[in-house]
Structure 1
Amino acid sequence: MNYDTFVDQVARRVRTDPERAVALVHATMATLAERLTGGEVLDLATQLPAPLRLALRPSPSTEAADRFGAAEFVARVAQRADLDEPAARDVVRAVFVTVREAVSGGEFDDLVTRFPRDYRDLVELALTPGVSALRRA
């Protein structure tokens, strides 16, 4: 999947324009990069379009994962994207569904297994075959 398609899919899912979707995608990916180890980030990034690889780029401070829960993940996305938390939750779901479509199933499954149980609500739609639309963001 190319970058424009990725952004367009997220924009459609959260019912926003592509320009806003870029900010939402990058807020989610930056938060994901904090949650994963540097190696996990690199594994995922190799399967994503180049602009998303930049958003996921690990730094020396991200070599070790910051093990925060789903509520903190959503709160960080909300802060980065200037959203309320319910809207941020929908954005995270939309980005995860789109990541699932963009990478091999095995890579996404490996990613999901690294999350604690409280992330289930955020990744469940992405794990459902054939899901392409989400509720209003």
Structure 2
Amino acid sequence: MNHAEFLEAVGKRAGLPPAEAATVTGAALTTLAERVSGGEARELAAQLPDEFRGYLHKTVDFAEQLDLVEFLNEVAARAGMDDQRAADGARAVLTTLREAVAAEVLAALESELSKDIRQLFQPVSRGDEGVTEPPVS
């Protein structure tokens, strides 16, 4: 998946215009990189288009543990969006990651995240897409 395709998928999933899809993608990837080890951030970066790699750069191997609310608050603050748009955007970014990276990289990444943050990798139904997916529990 190239850069434009990734951003298009995020925008469609979150109902965001292209500029906001790009902003929330950067915010979500930066926040995600802080929550995983340096090795996992590098593995993820290697699977994504070059334009996203800077968001995943870490100078330390330390992973900061936050719960879902704190994670989404960080994304909202970085993106300059209200909480709901940032939450929709973060879920769209992480759901798009499922399609963009190898399954083993995704599994290793998810293993370092709390259960509540891992739920963001699962798509949810949007009434305007006409696709029904089971809700995350």
Residue identity in the other structure for 2:3: Y
1:78: how far off?
Answer: 0.6
Greater helix percent: which structure? Answer: 1
TM score, norm. by length of structure 1 = 0.85
- Please tell me the residue identity of whatever aligns with 1:100: R
Correspondence for 1:114: 112
Do the aligned partners of residues 95 and 64 (structure 1) sit closer, same or farther apart at CA in structure 2, a change above 3 Å counting? same
**Within 5 A, what are the aligned runs for 1:24-43?**
24-43=24-43
Which structure has more relative contact order (CA 8 Å, sep 6+)? It is 1
Give me the whole-angstrom Cα distance separating, in 2, the residues matched to 1:51 and 1:120.
24
For 1:44, the equivalent position in structure 2 comes to: 44
Residues 1:19 and 2:22 aligned together: no
Assess if the C-alpha contact under 8 Å between 2:98 and 2:121 holds in 1. no
Change (3 A) 1:101 1:40: same
Q: Which one-letter code corresponds to 2:31 in the other structure?
A: T
Query: Residue 42 of structure 2 contacts residue 57 of structure 2 at CA under 8 Å; is this kept in 1?
Result: yes
Unmatched runs of 5 consecutive residues or more in structure 2: 129-137
C-alpha displacement of 1:124:
2.8
Runs of 4+ in 1 over 3 A off after TM superposition: 133-136
Asked if structure 2 preserves the Cα contact closer than 8 Å seen for 1:94 and 1:134, the reply is no
Farther-moved stretch of structure 1 (84-93 vs 69-78): 84-93
Indicate conservation of the 8 Å contact 2:7/2:22, yes or no: yes
User: How many positions carry a matched residue from both structures?
Assistant: 128
Distance 1:18 1:25 in 2: 10
- Map 1:76-115 onto structure 2 (within 5 A): 76-115=74-113
Q: CA deviation at 1:47?
A: 0.4
Moved more, 17-26 or 81-90: 81-90
Q: Distance in 2 between matches of 1:107 and 1:58?
A: 17
Q: Which residue does 1:68 correspond to in 2?
A: 66
SS in 2 for 1:4: helix
Determine if contact 1:90/1:135 at 8 Å carries over to the other structure. no
Change in CA separation of 1:118 and 1:104 when aligned onto 2, cut-off 3 Å: same
Where in structure 1 are there 5+ consecutive unaligned residues?
Answer: 126-130
Whole-angstrom distance in 1 between the partners of 2:118 and 2:100: 20
